[in-house]
Amino acid sequence: MNGKVILVGAGPGDVELLTLKGKALLQQADVVVYDKLVGQGVLALIPPTARRINVGKRANNHPVPQHQINQILLDEALAGNLVVRLKGGDPFLFGRGGEELELLVKHGISFEIVPGVTSALSVPAYAGIPVTHRDFTSSLHIITGHTKSAPEAEIDYPSLVKLNGTLVFLMGVSAMESICNGLLAGGMPPDMPAAVLERGTTAHQRRIVSTVQNLVCDAQAANVQTPAIIVVGRVCALAEQFHWAEDRPLGGVRIVVTRPRELSSKLTQKLRTLGSEVVELPSIQTAAIENNTVLHSALNNLSRYGWITFTSPSGVRIFFEELRKMRQDIRSLAGLKIAAIGSATAHELEARGLFVDLIPNTYNAGHLGAELGAVAKGMRVLITRARVGSHELTAALDAAGVPYDDVPLYETLYTCENTDMVRTQMENGEMDYVAFTSASTVRGFVGAIGDFDFSQVNAICIGEQTASEALKHHMKTATAQAATIDSMVDLLVNLRRQK
């Protein structure tokens, strides 16, 4: 049975401009075929089970010709796969979506189109340029800078000038001189405001606002590179009043978040709300230990314990999933006092109707063990955590003479997706910070990136143990005042203010 092809507009770069429908279909894909203009945040949403095919194209560099891309889509659909074709911007606005459908239609392949947010509207908006404004213009015209058969499009410049509207040229950076000369020859005033907008909606977006007469020289002086768009019209002059994206507390900052995928959403959302571009690169994942007889024995004998201790939100989730499998509920914990290593773990317990009796003043294993050892005299402690956990917790209990059972709940596995993409950005100096929420995320990140000069990495660390691990690899570290997500975010905002 044949599969299906879905052309999804990935938007201009900012992952939050991907449509809800596009995201939902992307996460169901068997195969994802994508371009270079697709933002890193969007690529990070591709499920690990999906096979990726990079057919990236940039100006004057087409490693995979269009006819081969069309054939790839057909072959994958004929193999029965759900294929998502991720295209930067919108599939039908100079995106060759129509060409890709022709071969599919010829062979009777089912398809769908998911429109995307086009850079023609979104990039000017992120630069503070409204493409229409009643005091300046009521029309918008979108033009391609090159065509299939020629490096420069044949454009009727005199007619464009007479329209007196905002002109947006896509894929026109290499033809900028020809475009500006054509507009001037067509009768456009030399002092008409014009702008070139580079890498719009991303952390490193730039705008160069000039005039039609001077735009080429100003763009060359700024060393403008693709992807970029050209905007011509009086509305360009409004950018000085209306710029906003880079003014946010973390505007212009690109951050790698290394938390496990199931835990990254809170940190990621806070960072994006403050204006940063976030690339999610989960460097560890947790896997529940199967046939965990040690845990099952402890759950069948909970009356032996006076305290139960949790050291991570993942541990809480896995513990209660195992409890459910054994047909036990929270009533089996009656009489037990509960300790949590920090606020995030405590919140996970509260979500299940349990309030903790102890959170250490400093959120780490050593302080948890010391404070627990002071209050658990004469009682046995059940520790539930990763198979390889910090020895500082048990060492503190040993020192206090408190007996315990150290029960493993899960394995910590080191894994990284999108590693090549992040590595390339770090090599190019395009990654501002990497956020680490545990020593294990540091180890996973280092293992995935491989041979690299990590002294170039600005590490934002949740606590001293995490910072200590980062320092082993010569990273430049900054440590949150408290071991919480909010404190990490505050640290980033303060670092941004100091620049």
Find tokens 């933002």 and name the residue: 39
Q: Is 254-283+415-498 the same fold as 121-245?
A: no
What is residue 187's three-state secondary structure? coil
* Residues of the chain with confidence (pLDDT) below 70: 57-62, 146-153, 261-264, 416-418
Q: How far is CA 255 from the centre of its chain?
A: 8
Q: Is 4-116 a domain of CATH 3.40.1010.10?
A: yes
E strands, 299-444, in order: 307-310, 337-340, 381-386, 404-414, 433-436
Classify domain 254-283+415-498 at the CATH topology level: Rossmann fold (3.40.50)
The alpha helices in 4-138, defined as continuous H runs, are 20-26, 40-43, 66-78, 97-106, 119-126
| Domain ranges across the chain | 4-116, 121-245, 254-283+415-498, 286-413
- Taking Cα atoms as reference points, which of 237, 238, 218 lies closest to residue 228? 218
pLDDT digits (tens, 9 = 90+) for 22-70: 999 999 999 999 988 898 889 888 988 899 999 985 545 557 888 999 9
- Would the pTM count as exceeding 0.85? no
pLDDT at 263: 59
Of 146, 155, 30, 21, nearest in space to 94 by CA: 146
pLDDT at residue 434, rounded to an integer: 95
Token code pair at residue 290: 């199967």
Question: Other CB atoms closer than 10 Å to residue 98's CB: what's the count?
Answer: 11
3-class secondary structure, 447: helix
- The residues that are catalytic are 35, 57, 171
Residue 63: cis peptide before it, omega within 30 degrees of 0? no
Fold type of domain 286-413: Rossmann fold (3.40.50)
**Edge-first strand listing for the sheet containing 166-170:** 140-144, 166-170, 228-232, 193-198, 206-211
Enter the tokens of residue 295.
């845990």
Neighbours of 142 (CB within 10 A): 17
Pairing of strands 166-170, 82-87: unpaired
Q: Which two tokens stand for residue 444?
A: 């996973």
- Tell which residue, 39, 84, 81, 36, has the closest CA to residue 61: 36
In the three-class reduction of DSSP (H, G, I as helix; E, B as strand; rest coil), residue 23 is classed as helix
* Strand-pair partners of 246: none
CATH 3.40.50.720 given to domain 121-245: no
Q: Give residue 48's pLDDT.
A: 83
In angstroms, the CA 316 to CA 237 distance is 55
Task: Annotate 55-90 with three-state secondary structure.
Answer: CCCECCECCCCHHHHHHHHHHHHHCCCEEEEEECEC
What pLDDT, on a 0 to 100 scale, did the predictor assign at position 266? 82
